[in-house]
Amino acid sequence: MAWNAYRLELTLHGPLHIGWRVLGNVQFTRPYVPVRTLWGAVTARLTRQSPCPTAQDYAHTGAEVENWLAFTYAYLLDDGRALYPVYTDGTVVYGPGAMSAEEFSWRFLATYASTALNYPESSAHIGSLHEVEHLAPWPRTATGRLAKQPIQLLGYIFVDQTCPAGWWAQVQVALAEFRLGGEGRYGFGHVTGRLHPLAASERLFGLYEVDLSGSRPAVLLSGEVVLLAHTPAVGGLEVLAGELEPLVGRNWHPQRGAGRELVAVASDCLAPGSRVRGLQRAEIGPNGLWGVT
């Protein structure tokens, strides 16, 4: 099996919320897009191109996306550079320029507060006030003004060369414009995408070479490595800095509907941005996990 590789550039046309954790009434966003979120968005967009899709159609399309496509996580672009997290001694910085978390938050994040209304009493519904953190569609500049260009994210997509040409054509149509992330009912997550074939000399996020000849695409590594996906914390890895995080997702539930079934995708994972030694090759598996080989 062999793969074709593409650079995927996403442009925001509204706020983007990637569910992460909740503290009090604040819902925090991840500063990047995990593969599982991309998989769900592409699956939904492809399935809805058919009239009257059923739950079985979603499951079938999701399996096709998982079999014929592989993704990397997607990270914000700033002046052409990807702002991936990097764990240092007790702090997190972003990208090769080591942007501080405070600057990242000030430039790229915003919040949206809302509450449900109790119409008979002409008041807010008790306990419904919440605040949603999100990636703002337009970043702030160094002077505090809003930039003229919207936020873009960078990721990579790999296509199995045995997949039907017609199916891949449908994927390209789906990636041209779709909804990504949460809070879609409030207009969040409108993105457009552009694909560019990966140049022979291009490295993933400017860091790593890829091997496209195996059963799964693989990232070639050496020395000290910054993980750019959740990676199982297996023996043989020397962890220099980082954080353990279980990767949990939501699936369709037959009785309760979309997103109502919690599933443990992987436990004991090193979070993106963790720094390790001893990893030389990582296959990009389902859900974008880096598998140690």
* Predicted local distance difference test score (pLDDT) of residue 256: 60
Domain spanning 3-292: which CATH class is it, in words?
Answer: alpha beta
Question: pTM of the entire structure?
Answer: 0.91
Distance in angstroms (rounded) separating the CA atoms of residues 287 and 36: 5
Q: Do residues 124 and 111 make contact, with C-beta atoms less than 8 angstroms apart?
A: no
Which DSSP letter does residue 4 get? Answer: E
Q: How far is CA 71 from CA 74, 84, 89, 110, in A?
A: 9, 16, 30, 27
Whether residue 119 has pLDDT greater than 70: no
Per-residue pLDDT tens digits for 34-93: 999 999 999 999 999 888 888 889 889 999 999 999 999 999 999 899 999 999 988 999
